[in-house]
Amino acid sequence: MLICTLTSIAQSVGANRIVPALGIPHPLGDPSLSAGDERKKRRQLVQKALQALTTPISEQTIF
Amino acid sequence: MVRSLRVVHYLNQFFGQIGGEDQAGTACQVKPGPVGPGLAFKALLGGQAEIVATVICGDNYMGENLEQTSLAAAELVAQHQPDLLLAGPAFVSGRYGMACGAVCQAVAQQLGIPTVTGMSEENPAVDIYKAHAYIAPAGKSAAKMKDAAQAMVKLALALAQGQEPEPGSYFAQGKRRLVVREASGAQRAVQMLVELLQGGEPATELPLPNFEKVPPAPALTNLAEAVIVLGTEGGVTPVDNPDRIEMSMATKWGRYSLEGLAAMDPERFTASHGGYDNTAAKQNPNRVVPLDVMCDLAGEGVVGSLAEFFYTTAGNATTVDNATRFGREIAQDIRARFQDKVGVVFTST
């Protein structure tokens, strides 16, 4: 699966399981947050990625 | 009088009249003159070109050691000092297609002569070798031999005479060349727009690349038993970038150890990618490769385990061919290490 911000590009090149990210230069981070909050957000996104891996799909899907 | 062109033809064991599947392990050999389908090519080539030799190799012998054996076949081809190589046609046969593609590529690189093969668009070798050989579209089976031979001969003779082959007479190779047009880009664009507004269908000057579609992988049934593999195209590497992965137009990918680490340490990892501001990634590479939270989740038993390495490259102006190759190679590398219970989490900047 792919975590990325530009989900339309991911779709056009053929990624199947796509999870929208937090930003182009920091897909799994947000420098404006405190370290603790940022890490919490990263964990949520990774959990969503894991959920995508366990979800059966038959076509390209943005989670 | 113009000298007739010297042609070498490459065939597999079946078309080379050595035998069927039981002979697929046959090593490369050379027979003088045309063999099997070579006779049809000889008739089409007429007096313009002569098949001086046929190189034949079993599909398994070639396929099991493609790189080395195709180079050996190219050396056999070179001994006959050809002006042109014809290979196949391979129709929809994957193994034979790979063999024809690899031999064409090796000969083109070693001898710098045009190499022409023929395949059905459904042959997986088309995508792999179209940039390295001229591949004429062919039917799915040898029932279409005559059409395939005609298409290959026409293409080969055009190339040998230094002519520009017709668009559509081979699978596009993704090469850019300069051409001179009388009307400027602005004029042509407006002309296209006008045509479109009038209900016409102007032909594009820049067809979009045809990205390979891959069927979705089956879902993981039990995360707690799965190995998770991390990867990125965000240019994250060990600080010394040991393999010199290019920050733009990358030609390689890397696999680096995470053994014993609980997070991506900025003292050990950096980011060099020419397509985005690397500051945030350098400060905390977990923002691109989320090792810290993944380790937490593995520790809590949410996932079975985490691979002790990650994959990386810099996806900035990377050619589609290279990117496709990276994907294929990384997938093979993962497959060689883990069986079915593996989940891959890649990130993109």
Q: Give the least confident one: B116-120, B174-178, B216-220, B282-286.
A: B174-178
C-alpha distance from residue A34 to each of A29, A31, A42 (Å) = 10, 8, 12
Enter the tokens of residue B216. Answer: 């979705």
Count of domains observed in chain B: 2
Would you say residue B169 lies in a domain?
no
A14 touches B: beta carbon within 8 Å: yes
| CB-nearest partner of B293 from A12, A46, A60 | A46
Same domain, B10 and B152: yes
CB contact under 8 A, B286 and A29: yes
Q: How confident is the model at residue B1, as a pLDDT?
A: 46
Following DSSP, what letter does each residue of chain A receive, concatenated?
-EEES-HHHHHHHT-SEEEE-S-SS-TT--TTS-HHHHHHHHHHHHHHHHHHHTS--SS-EE-
Mutate to test the interface with A, among B287, B291, B318 (most CBs of A within 10 A): B287
| Domain coverage including residue B21 | 5-160
Same domain, B9 and B155: yes
Question: How far is Cα B248 from Cα B216, in angstroms, rounded to an integer?
Answer: 29
Q: What pLDDT, in 10s, does the model give residues B51-75?
A: 999 999 999 999 988 999 999 999 9
Q: How sure is the predictor about B2, in pLDDT bands with cuts at 50, 70 and 90?
A: low
Q: What pLDDT, in 10s, does the model give residues B292-310?
A: 999 999 999 999 999 999 9
Q: Closest by alpha carbon to B297, among A24, A48, A29, A52?
A: A48
Following DSSP, what letter does each residue of B76-134 receive, concatenated?
HHHTT--SEEEEEEEET-HHHHHHHHHHHHHHHHHH---EEEEE-TT-THHHHHTTTSE
B228 touches A: beta carbon within 8 Å: yes
Same domain, B156 and B290: no
Q: Is the ipTM of this complex over 0.95?
A: yes
Domain boundary among B144, B160, B176: B160
Q: Specify the 3-state DSSP secondary structure of B348.
A: strand
B300 touches A: beta carbon within 8 Å: no
b/e string for B39-56 if b means 16 or more Cβ within 10 A?
ebbbebbeeebbbbbbbb
Q: Specify the 3-state DSSP secondary structure of B3.
A: coil
Q: What pLDDT, in 10s, does the model give residues B3-26?
A: 799 999 999 999 999 999 899 999
Would you say residue B237 lies in a domain?
yes
b/e string for B253-263 if b means 16 or more Cβ within 10 A?
bbbbebeeeeb
User: B232 CA to chain A: closest CA distance, Å?
Assistant: 9
Q: Who's near B341: CB < 8 A, 6+ residues apart?
A: B220, B222, B225, B226, B227, B304
Domain of B83: which CATH number?
3.40.50.280
CB contact under 8 A, A1 and B347: no
A4 touches B: beta carbon within 8 Å: yes
Same domain, B35 and B120: yes
Q: Closest by alpha carbon to B212, among B109, B83, B323, B135?
A: B323
Write out chain A residues lying below 8 Å of B347, CB-based. 2-4, 21, 27-28
Would you say residue B329 lies in a domain?
yes
| CB-nearest partner of B343 from A5, A53, A56 | A53
Q: Specify the 3-state DSSP secondary structure of B225.
A: helix
User: How many CB contacts within 8 angstroms connect chain A with chain B?
Assistant: 111
Q: How confident is the model at residue B176, as a pLDDT?
A: 75
Count of domains observed in chain A: 1
